[in-house]
């Protein structure tokens, strides 16, 4: 019995060795696959890194574009500032001269809206490194203002801005009182507003700066509504 058991011991040992060899081979194969997988993953990492860079690049570009401006934006701000300033000058003349309650309300609305817009546009020009006055850069403005002259009545301002009142217009308004003032103010402000709307619509079409185009849209909306109110006032005066 002892001899029989001894004779059969080598076989289990050989099977055990084979199993260990197979396990080692599988383990080695697993390590090899893992290594290959690691190389593949590294390659994928580089690829995903490139994708991330590609994705972030347009974002940076969009940010740059959002802060970009063009000549139309500059012209809009430079010309709308004095245009708004004249509207405020006309509105100040209403104090002690206007008699119609609705005219007085519209005067307050104009002052409330346009003074902050002037400050906003001045801040844009400062940020853009451009002068506040269009006349300081007239060589580049000649063609644009020349085109706008056709839309105006040829004012003493010489600015080419549509809807601007002449010095004589302002003197007539200053000399008027009561209903005469109310009627004259409404007529002049309709023309003045329509000029601003023309300039704002041009900015909407040709401008690039998002904030400037937004302000232009506000001008069109607000002043178009005020024009309709002034027309109704004229109908009943």
Is the model's pLDDT at 190 over the cut of 90?
yes
Largest pairwise CA distance in the chain = 140
- What tokens appear for 122 in the block? 């001045």
Is the model's pLDDT at 43 over the cut of 90?
no
Is the model's pLDDT at 166 over the cut of 60?
yes
Phi, psi dihedrals of residue 208, rounded to the nearest 5°? -125, -35
Taking each helix axis from N to C end, the angle separating 71-93 and 138-149, rounded to the nearest 10 degrees, works out to 60
Q: Which residues contact 162 (CB under 8 A, 6 or more apart)?
A: 148, 151, 152, 194, 195, 198, 199
Question: What is the mean predicted confidence (pLDDT) over 169-180?
Answer: 97
CB of 121 within 8 A of CB of 80?
yes
Q: Which residues contact 203 (CB under 8 A, 6 or more apart)?
A: 72, 73, 76, 212, 213, 216
Q: Rounded to whole angstroms, how far apart are CA atoms 195 and 162?
A: 4
SS3 101: helix
State how far Cα 223 lies from the chain centre.
20
Phi, psi dihedrals of residue 130, rounded to the nearest 5°? -115, 150
State how far Cα 6 lies from the chain centre.
94
Q: Is the pTM of this model over 0.75?
A: no
pLDDT tens for each residue of 73-82? 999 999 999 9
pLDDT tens for each residue of 84-120? 999 999 999 999 999 999 999 999 999 999 999 999 9
Give which of 92, 110, 113 is closest to 102, Cα–Cα. 110
SS3 70: coil
State how far Cα 57 lies from the chain centre.
20
Give which of 233, 151, 158, 147 is closest to 192, Cα–Cα. 151
DSSP state of 142: H
Question: What is the mean predicted confidence (pLDDT) over 131-151?
Answer: 51
CB of 160 within 8 A of CB of 146?
yes
Q: Which residue has the higher pLDDT, 25 or 161?
A: 161
SS3 12: helix
pLDDT at 198: 97
pLDDT at 134: 76
pLDDT at 44: 41
pLDDT at 159: 54
Q: Rounded to whole angstroms, how far apart are CA atoms 53 and 47?
A: 10
pLDDT at 153: 41
Cα-based angle 24, 40, 38 (whole degrees, multiple of 5): 45
């Amino acid at each position: 019995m002892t001899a029989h058991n001894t004779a059969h011991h080598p076989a289990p040992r050989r099977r055990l060795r084979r199993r260990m060899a197979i396990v080692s081979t599988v383990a080695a194969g697993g390590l090899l696959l893992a290594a290959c997988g690691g190389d593949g993953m590294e390659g994928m990492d580089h690829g995903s890194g490139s994708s991330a860079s590609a994705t972030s690049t347009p974002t940076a570009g969009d940010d740059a574009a959002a802060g970009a401006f063009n000549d139309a934006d500059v012209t809009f701000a430079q010309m709308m500032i004095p245009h708004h300033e004249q509207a405020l000058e006309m509105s100040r003349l209403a104090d002690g001269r206007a008699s119609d309650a609705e005219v007085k309300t519209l005067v307050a609305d104009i002052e409330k809206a346009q003074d902050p817009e002037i400050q906003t546009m001045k801040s844009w020009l400062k940020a853009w490194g451009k002068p506040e006055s269009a006349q300081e850069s007239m060589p580049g403005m000649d063609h644009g203002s020349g085109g706008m002259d056709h839309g105006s009545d040829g004012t003493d301002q010489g600015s080419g801005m549509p809807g601007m009142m002449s010095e004589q217009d302002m003197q007539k308004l200053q000399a008027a009182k009561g209903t005469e003032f109310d009627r004259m103010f409404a007529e002049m402000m309709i023309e003045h507003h329509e000029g601003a709307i023309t300039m704002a619509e041009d900015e909407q079409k040709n401008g690039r700066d998002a904030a400037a185009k937004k302000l232009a849209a506000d001008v069109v909306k607000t002043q178009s509504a005020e024009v309709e109110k002034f027309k109704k006032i004229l109908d009943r005066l």
